[in-house]
A and B are shown apart, each in its own frame.
Chain A
Amino acid sequence: MAKIIPEKEIPSLASELTKTHTVYAPVIKGDETVFSEINDSAEIALNYSQTPLPPKMYFLPANEELFKVVDDELQKAGGIKPFIVFLNLKDLKAVNYLDKIMQKEPADTFYLQRRSVSTLVATTESAVGSHNGSDLTLEKRNNSTYLAHSFTEKGNKILKSSLFKEAPIPEKSAQEPLPNHFDELLLDSGLLAQAVEWSRENSPSTWEALGKICLSCGICTYVCPLCFCTSTEDKTSIDGSECTRCRKWDACTLPRFAQVAGGHNFRPTQKDRYYNWFYHKFVRAYKEFGQAQCVACGRCQKYCPAGIDIEKILTRLVEDYKKAHTKKT
């Protein structure tokens, strides 16, 4: 016997959960699916492909007050209300990776605090095997029914809802989504790392050209579910009695990112900065964590106002790299 839930009951589940939690889920707004706080009776876009802003914003907010000091005394931060995020498997994978990054010693207290009060509910059409990093995964088995897989205590708590019914595991008839080309590229993170690293000296025209296209707007970084760079700034109240230290999303494609006090910029050109965006994701991250910092969600290319197709660039770099290395042997 297993726990199942009819597709049409999932919105009811979400609204039931709003009684005890803040609930965030993908919903359709105009032409887009966006993450939004759910109130009762909201439709959830269970099968979304991408949202403009990724779920990282709930764990690493775009603007976050880290510390507040009043008359030289550090104020105690208020608690964060427990929350639940409904997300797809790619976004789940990104959160799992961010967890790994933020847990690395010395850990990021602020991120981990938010993660500790959050519950991840993944929805998918793929078959679910072992623990996938979610608390609860709802797997689509057929047109009308989802099978629940709970992996943690937090997941078990949600399963207590009367909306889940005991039933035999339904026959799987929902279409298993096929991996796309981008997913396949990511299967060999090592090759991607080699190709991107190799390209700096061996395909300089690629980066020259991209340096003339990139608008340095930062959008690829903001929409990336895995980009996590930030800047910290302090504020002082008008009477000087209250100081706050805030951190904000930053973007390594922005010109000030590697500029030091006194003015020297360690990445003076857009080419350098745009290359670093790739270098971090596909080379530095691979060397640090053994895996490219990318889940092939496609946000960066979908939302790039200059129309840069990152998947295409990576594909070409890998092809060129392979060609250059077969010639030699």
Chain B
Amino acid sequence: MKNKPKIAIFDFTDCEGCEVALVSLREKLVEIATETEIVNWRLAQKKADDGPYDIVLIEGTPITQTEIDTLKFLRGQTKILVGLGSCATLAGIPGIIDKEARSGWYEKIYGKDYKPRGIDALPLSAYVLVDYSIHGCPVDKSELLRVIQELLAGKTPKNPGYSVCFECKLAGNPCRLLDKKPCLGPITAGGCGAICIKGGSPCYGCFGIRQDAQVDNLVMTLRKFSDPAKIENYFSMFLKKTPEYKKLFDNKKERNGKP
């Protein structure tokens, strides 16, 4: 009988919504817990074993030095490190503003004497090697299950190679871009079921930029009905810390997020 893989789940600065998605797997979570040993999960259990682990899932953005150190330590403790949710994989909502802009806000809100603990909001991959990123704000339950199934089967999971548009068309949503409303669906990896568009919201790219996406081409389409500042706003929601964002907008002076 093979040893059951040891799984540990940790979280940094975040809303814990992705861990709630994990809990919402319900029967499937029980199955996972049967086939594996969940040895450390602050949110759901008392058992909190030290490493080494086989799989570590990390939710949230490492913001403080303690969190960054913990992340580096955990990397050494596990065979596979997986980012859970857009805060971990893309820096998520905390990543909307930059280090410099953030210190400006600190001063404005808390005054000059405030000593912030937060350093910067960057994805896990800015500090350690991440084996797989389960994107999403929050993560999609079936995607989460797919990745866990693949990891347990010994496969190396891959992000979906198709766009949000695939699931969006199947869901029968009217295309936002055709209605001249901004949307990052065409460059965003699918797997979310186009849930935001279904709910009347645009796609902000929380599933990450799809492999070899035509980012420049999309920006051209967006410019037909949207001004550059608005386009940048859309990209800054989840993608601010991506190389694609930097390429598109970083040559310009920071406008957004400054107090």
A-side residues, CB < 8 A to B, are 29-32, 34, 52-53, 62, 212-219, 222-223, 235-240, 249-251, 254-256, 270, 303, 305-307
Contacts and interface: CB of A to CB of B under 8 A. Distances in A.
19 contacts: A31-B174, A32-B174, A52-B172, A53-B172, A212-B216, A215-B217, A217-B185, A217-B186, A218-B162, A236-B155, A237-B149, A238-B149, A239-B31, A249-B166, A255-B211, A270-B214, A305-B178, A305-B186, A306-B220
A32 B165 CA distance: 17
How big is the B interface, by class? 35 or more
B178 A216 contact: no
B162 A29 contact: no
Contacts of A219: 165, 169, 175
Nearest to A52: B169
Given A214-B214, A216-B186, A219-B165, A303 B149 contact: no
A219 B186 CA distance: 9
B149 A217 contact: no
A254 B166 CA distance: 11
A215 B172 contact: no
A145 B230 CA distance: 53
B214 A216 contact: yes
B177 interface: yes
B186 A303 contact: no
Interface string B151-192: 011010000011101100110101101100001011100000
A309 to B, nearest CB: 13
A222 B167 CA distance: 10
Q: What's the dominant secondary structure at chain B's contact region?
A: helix
B217 to A, nearest CB: 5
Contacts of B220: 212-213, 306
A305 B170 contact: no
A237 B34 CA distance: 13
Q: What's the dominant secondary structure at chain A's contact region?
A: loop
A287 to B, nearest CB: 28
A214 B217 contact: yes
B214 A215 contact: yes
Interface in B121-161: 146, 148-150, 152-153, 155, 161
B168 to A, nearest CB: 9
Interface of B: 28, 31-32, 34-35, 146, 148-150, 152-153, 155, 161-163, 165-166, 169-170, 172, 174-175, 177-178, 183, 185-187, 210-214, 216-218, 220-221, 224
Contacts of B174: 30-32
Contact of A212 (B31, B169, B211, B217): B217
Nearest to A236: B153
A313 B45 CA distance: 61
Contacts of A238: 28, 31-32, 35, 148-149, 152
B170 A53 contact: yes
Given A53-B169, A217-B186, A255 B212 contact: yes
Nearest to B148: A238
B211 A305 contact: no
Contacts of A303: 169, 175, 178
Contacts of A62: 166, 170
Given A218-B162, A254-B161, A235 B149 contact: yes
Contacts of B163: 215-218, 254
A255 B161 contact: yes
Given A212-B220, A238-B32, A255-B212, A218 B165 contact: yes
A116 B216 CA distance: 46
A259 to B, nearest CB: 9
Contacts of B169: 52-53, 219, 222-223, 303
B161 A215 contact: no
